[in-house]
Amino acid sequence: MKISYLIGIGVASVAIAVIASLSQSYVDSSEEKIRVAFFPSIVHAVPIVGIENEVFKENLDEQIEIDVKIFDSGPQVIESLFSNSIDIAYVGPGPVINGYLKSNGDALKILAGAADGGASLVAQKDSGLDSIANFDGKRIAAPQISNTQDVSLRHYLSSNGLKPVETGGTVYVLNISNPDIFTLFAKGDIDGAWVPEPWATMLVQELDGVRIFNESQFWPDEEFSSVLLIARTDFVESNPIVIQNWIKSNEKTVQWINNNPEQTKKIYSEFLTDYMGKTLPDNIINESFSNLIITSDPLKKSVYTFAERADSLGYLGREGYDINEIFYEYDNSIISSEENQNG
């Protein structure tokens, strides 16, 4: 299935006509479409490959379309979810937790996982960032404030007795977009960056940066959910069959990716060509892919740990937080009932 990309301002929207096979699922929408958001990043391989391979369409009525929206910011995804502009999304745990708490637990549910790991601290060769003793006065970038890499960077500083300059510390933390991080790194205007793939590998291979460490080593069991599959709560409640079939398709895509890594890289390369007009060199795609794990497990322990770290940084408010009901509870009886009806 070839995807055509229509580039807009800030967000690229893609309308994908879907011909599906199961007949009893439905979407509670007058426009008969499911609006799905994800990033043009290799850590978002699951939605990219699943849509390209037509896996997600298999469990939808033939009149339903999948309307794909490409974002480059997790907080933007959550705001679009709040405004009912998207139904399903792939996004990091930081924006997910913030959005859940901002809506008092009403706006969204975590359905499954999509990726584990895939973020690193990369530094200039002579920065000295291979030792925590040399972090004083350094300029280190991460994407948007309170996003996944930002929380991880600030937690790392705090756990080593350091603070950002804006809170009376000695380390300059710059929150800027991944493309701007690349530009500033190339100019030598920053000493390091805590970024996801493929940006981390691009800094290493294209700008002669040094990968100081992979973030996974600082998480319990060395695993953390870097991409989660979420959906609007009202969409989940109105479309339980669609949601559970999407979860099944998500798992099926994960299995296909893990069984077909070379084909996955080819699909991702073609996606970049369609979306950006050019792709990345094979060596960057290969190394980026090697630094993450594709999984449908939401790694709940890491989500709870992330919330603890974000809260310790003051990101979750002053009155405490509760994310005990953030995960969607899968109900096999719904699918079983549908299958029995279809005979």
Residues 121-152 as b/e (b if ≥16 CB within 10 A, e otherwise) read bbbbeebebeeeeebeebbbbbbbebbbbbbb
Same domain, 61 and 154: no
Burial class (CB in 10 A: 0-12, 13-18, 19+), 260: middle
> Is residue 317 assigned to a domain?
yes
Which positions ≥6 away from 325 have C-beta within 8 Å?
105
Omega prior to 164 cis, within 30 of 0: no
Nearest to 135 by CA among 102, 165, 112: 165
85: tokens are: 């502009």
Rg (CA), the chain: 20
Q: Cα–Cα distance between 273 and 163 in angstroms, integer?
A: 41
Same domain, 302 and 274: yes
Q: Cα–Cα distance between 178 and 144 in angstroms, integer?
A: 9
Same domain, 187 and 228: no
Q: Are 297 and 113 in contact (CB under 8 A)?
A: yes
Q: With 0.75 as the threshold, say if the pTM is over it.
A: yes
Q: Which residue has the higher pLDDT, 283 or 18?
A: 283
Residue showing tokens 């920065």: 127
Nearest to 3 by CA among 12, 11, 180: 12
Same domain, 153 and 182: yes
Mean pLDDT of all residues in 205-217: 97
Domain that holds residue 334: 6-118+224-342
Q: Are 327 and 109 in contact (CB under 8 A)?
A: yes
Render pLDDT for 268-294 as a digit per residue (tens, 0 to 9). Answer: 999 999 988 999 999 999 999 999 999
- Residue 223: C-alpha distances to residues 31, 113, 213, 297, 305 (Å): 39, 12, 14, 11, 11
> Is residue 1 assigned to a domain?
no
Q: Cα–Cα distance between 139 and 264 in angstroms, integer?
A: 35
User: Residue 335 has what pLDDT?
Assistant: 52
Render pLDDT for 25-48 as a digit per residue (tens, 0 to 9). Answer: 335 443 589 999 999 999 999 999
**Position 228: which residue type?**
L
Give the angle 55-31-238 at the CA atoms, nearest 5°. Answer: 70
Domain end call among 194, 222, 250: 222
User: Residue 11 has what pLDDT?
Assistant: 33
End-to-end CA distance of the chain: 30
Domain end call among 169, 203, 222: 222
The pLDDT-based confidence of 59 (bands split at 50, 70, 90) is confident
> Is residue 230 assigned to a domain?
yes
Render pLDDT for 94-141 as a digit per residue (tens, 0 to 9). Answer: 999 999 999 999 999 999 999 999 999 999 999 999 999 999 999 999
Domain end call among 222, 239, 260: 222
Q: Cα–Cα distance between 102 and 223 in angstroms, integer?
A: 26
Same domain, 176 and 28: no
Reply yes or no on whether the pLDDT at 4 is more than 60.
Answer: no
